Amino acid sequence: MRPVQKGTSPVATPPGFANYEDAKPDLISRLGPYCSYCERKIVTILHVEHLQPKGLPKYAHLELAWTNFLLACVNCNSTKLTKDVLFADLYFPDRDNTFAAFIYTPDGKVAGNISANPTISAATLALTGFANKRSVAIDTNGKEVAIDRGAQRMEAWLLAEESRNDFASNPSPELLRSTVRTAVACGHFSIWMTVFAGDVTMRNALIDAFPGTRASGCFDAQGNPVSPAPNPDRLADGGKV
Ligand SMILES: [Zn+2]
């Protein structure tokens, strides 16, 4: 899960946003058009995600709060629903080093990293189901959409591996830029970072290319994760990993 810095609200608060959907262009500009949890690039039905769900009465006052927003796909959003969110018990990419918290493998699976708190990792995986191999969501037209995040991770892994092999045989600036463009178009930041582990130049180029990632302060000059996260926005219960 790619760590990000969202920054301060783009609109003065108060009055803040009139409608939470109005925050979507700013969120996409700062974070890129990716699900904040499963890291897929979502071109159309990307939702403004309320970290603490607006559907729970105790969080109703956060419906228009910039600090409570991320972006989510229909699968992660519809799994998370109105489950209660206590920041101390979960990892979130706007306040924790979620890249350091999870391990991605070629079989499309995601697991908690040994350096992270296993209880918090498991709770985070359960919250959105982002690591689930298969999940079914129904769109507004009654059609099943994007049902297999595991298979999509495997495809991304293969694409990243092919790119790594090509770059190893021709480590030119042009191919580096082309590889980064492919990664940005594909999404799945953590998979590209994992496949290019040990390649300082490529890792730094990826960190710089995905919006909001460098600013998170979660990576050092070698492209390795910095843990705990510096939590530059000073969000509640951040910097747990
Ligand atoms: Zn998602």
Task: Using a cut of 0.85, tell me whether the model's pTM lies above it.
Answer: yes
What separation in Å is there between the alpha carbon of 156 and the centre of ligand 1? Answer: 15
Poorest-pLDDT segment among 6-20, 86-100, 112-126, 220-234: 6-20
Residue 130 identity (one-letter amino acid): F
Q: Any residues with CB less than 8 A from the CB of 226 and at least 6 apart, and which? A: 97, 100, 217, 218, 219, 220
pLDDT value at position 43?
87
What separation in Å is there between the alpha carbon of 236 and the centre of ligand 1? Answer: 23
> What is the average pLDDT value for the chain, to the nearest integer?
94
What separation in Å is there between the alpha carbon of 171 and the centre of ligand 1? Answer: 32
Where are the chain's structural domains? 20-216
Question: pLDDT tens for residues 52-80?
Answer: 999 999 999 999 999 999 999 998 999 99
Return the H-helix or E-strand segment holding 75.
Answer: helix 74-80
Q: Does residue 139 have a pLDDT over 80? A: no
pLDDT value at position 117?
97
What separation in Å is there between the alpha carbon of 172 and the centre of ligand 1? Answer: 33
For residues 29 and 125, what is the distance between their CA atoms, to the nearest angstrom? 26
> What are φ and ψ of residue 4, in 5° steps?
-140, 155
